[in-house]
Chains A and B, each alone.
Chain A
């Protein structure tokens, strides 16, 4: 027969079922004769059953689907050309990194002007006026000239919010599916999601931890949108809308503005979530 000390030595293995048959028999025999050890075994077993109830929040399929791509981007960024074993994509990425940046910046500036004109037409044309988009357009145009991480993060959040508003406010019963332009939203989401890792990395200040988390949550949702089926995947859109609501994304965005420590954006800041349009029906925002 084992002693109480011997019983304690075997307690962990017994709790996790790692005892051999002979040891188990000895252990059980001791518990039958020792109420203290039996009580301890029972209480610790109950504790483990409580710990079985623990749930870990899963970031969802879009997060897992994009995991490799985000990792590959980091690998590409840190890969050295001397290894000689880099995949073509990484070598191309590296080559682009060492080329002068000004031609790309000029091209990006031109593209932003064109996008600004197109958005201006969409917003101020016959489809309806939405003044808050004007601020976003300004924010987009300004993106190219600022490297401030906080400002970039804020603009990222603004752009994501506008995109999400366009999606959340869409009602297939009252709005033409052709005008919804899911393909455009998917492309914009993909583009935004691709920026997320860089923005998160740039937010190094510990006080910006919450913004990093917000950017991370937005990235997951944007990737869900980017991965919607080709065509008009309205079921998928509904799932994304539900996710945005369940996670309180618009509330978090609003709260992020209340605690924002970065420089002010030029022009009026876009505001709030679907509640803004609830009183007057669905907003006609388009991206």
Chain B
């Protein structure tokens, strides 16, 4: 279904069109939420909240806008809302024991781990360092970086999604990359191997 027909279907409240829309964008929304909120259970809840919001309030979509840009904006706002709510909630303290596999181990288990255990550990450590570096970036810088680097949106599209000027997007992105570089250390140093093309 092309975008115009999809928009038309969504505007009419057509459930088949909505399902098509969900199937098309569920992975993008879920992974953006996962990157922003940091765990899979909450990422699913946030991503589903995004689609529920789309379903409830598609009337606010302007037909001359790009559907994916609007969706990213809804998703970004939902992530920020979630993070604000989480910041207000007390930190979990009672069940640290269940924190068993740390993020690096979880990533090691879930990704295609190399057969060599030594390399697997190195790969897991790299993933942990990357995750840690991303945690040091502000939510807005992180969102801009994620959208550009992993979702491959152009700077203009990101500006449209987040309702920012292109200059601001460039600024956030530049700051994000610099912070990541600081956190990851000099390429090639202490465990940060720079892959060669």
Contact = CB atoms under 8 A, between A and B. Distances in A.
Contact of A216 (B44, B99, B131, B186): B44
Contacts of A16: 148, 155
B171 to A, nearest CB: 9
B31 interface: yes
A258 interface: yes
Contact of A13 (B41, B52, B170, B194): B170
B182 to A, nearest CB: 9
Given A43-B187, A59-B40, A210 B98 contact: yes
B92 to A, nearest CB: 5
A87 B13 CA distance: 11
B95 interface: yes
Nearest to B31: A56
Interface string A32-45: 00000000000110
Given A48-B149, A51-B180, A259 B94 contact: yes
Given A50-B184, A246-B109, A71 B48 contact: yes
A55 to B, nearest CB: 4
Interface SS of chain B? helix
Chain A interface size band reads 35 or more
Nearest to A55: B111
B92 A207 contact: yes
Interface of A: 8-9, 11-13, 15-16, 18, 43-44, 46-59, 63-64, 67-68, 70-71, 74-75, 78, 85, 87, 200, 206-216, 246-248, 251-252, 255-256, 258-259, 261
| 10 pairs of A and B residues whose beta carbons are closest in the complex | A57-B110, A46-B187, A210-B98, A47-B181, A216-B41, A55-B111, A259-B95, A259-B97, A207-B94, A46-B194
9 contacts: A16-B148, A47-B181, A50-B194, A55-B110, A57-B107, A68-B19, A71-B22, A78-B52, A216-B40
